[in-house]
């Protein structure tokens, strides 16, 4: 079990351990932690040892499930990641927009949907996006602010043994109240990065969740930038279609702040 950092406690555990003293129960939990992390049953008192076989069966079963998930993630990583959802990009599902309520900051954010900043390099796009994110954070709204590169790095991390589950990480990106993806189109594209970006944008599109996209390119150039060399532009076109349908486009001009 070496490498696993967590385990699940089920509600039927108290029934199997209700005869244990508080100290023996604590010893049992500590033994479960040690066994999960190191794969070795530690030395425990006779009282705790009586109940440990019941818990060990559960730990071994869940560890088998965990190893299966890890192996699947490694396999998916070798194939280029999770395959894109089987949907028709030419007929995207219309998001169901909430009713307008100007007194509700969450509603205002939801009605904004997607903001695209097409800017001169250094004009302050990340600063503006961060200011919006900080304003919403101050109102208690959850926000994720990451560059496109760091989003891909976090998803790729799930392909390692201790990197978590890819589906869970993708669900976070697709469901967080506000997602800011900075510098889209800056990284060298691949089939995997394109399908991953499509899955995130499409997931948020279907949920009508606001997303701030910052980029140095207009829609025509962005489609080229996110499509791999010699690759099919279908997915990239679907991404641009969703953005242009829902977005409020903002073009930032002026001299670079870095050069001042």
* Tokens, residue 234: 């279908």
Residue 119 binned pLDDT confidence (cut-offs 50, 70, 90)? low
| 194-240 tens-digit pLDDT | 999 999 999 988 888 888 888 888 888 889 999 999 888 899 999 98
The one-character DSSP state at 257 is G
What confidence score (pLDDT) does residue 194 get? 93
CATH class belonging to 105-259? alpha beta
| 58-104 tens-digit pLDDT | 787 877 777 777 777 777 666 665 555 565 656 555 544 444 343 44
Domain ranges of the chain: 13-78, 105-259
Give 37 or 200, the one with higher predicted confidence.
200
The one-character DSSP state at 147 is E
For residue 128, how many other CB atoms are within 10 A of its CB? 17
What are the two backbone dihedrals, phi and then psi, of residue 91, each rounded to the nearest 5 degrees? Answer: -130, 70
- CA 105 – CA 117 distance, rounded (Å): 21
In our burial notation (b when 16+ CB lie closer than 10 A, e otherwise), range 173-195 reads bbebebbbbbbbbeeebeebbbb
């Amino acid at each position: 079990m070496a490498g696993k950092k967590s385990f699940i406690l089920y509600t039927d555990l108290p029934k199997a351990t209700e005869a244990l003293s508080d100290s023996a129960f604590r010893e049992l939990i500590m033994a479960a932690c040690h066994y999960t992390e190191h794969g070795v049953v530690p030395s425990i008192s006779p009282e705790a040892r009586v109940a440990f076989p019941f818990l060990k069966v559960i730990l071994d079963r869940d560890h088998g499930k965990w190893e299966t998930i890890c192996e699947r993630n490694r396999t998916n990583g070798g194939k280029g990641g999770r395959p894109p959802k089987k949907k028709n990009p030419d007929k995207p599902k219309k998001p169901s927009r909430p009713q307008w309520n100007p007194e509700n900051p969450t509603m205002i954010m939801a009605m904004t949907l997607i903001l695209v900043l097409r800017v001169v390099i250094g004009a302050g796009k990340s600063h503006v996006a961060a200011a919006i994110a900080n304003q919403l954070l101050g109102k208690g709204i959850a926000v994720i602010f990451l560059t496109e590169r760091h989003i891909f790095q976090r998803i790729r991390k799930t392909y390692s043994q201790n990197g978590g589950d890819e589906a869970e990480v993708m669900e976070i990106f697709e469901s967080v109240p506000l997602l800011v993806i900075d510098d889209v189109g800056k990284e060298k594209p691949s089939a995997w990065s394109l399908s991953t970006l499509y899955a995130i944008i499409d997931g948020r599109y279907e949920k009508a969740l606001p997303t701030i996209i910052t980029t140095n390119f207009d829609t025509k150039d962005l489609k080229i930038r996110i499509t791999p060399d010699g690759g099919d532009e279908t997915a990239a076109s679907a991404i641009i279609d969703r953005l242009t349908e829902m977005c409020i486009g903002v073009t930032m001009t002026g001299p670079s702040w870095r050069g001042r």
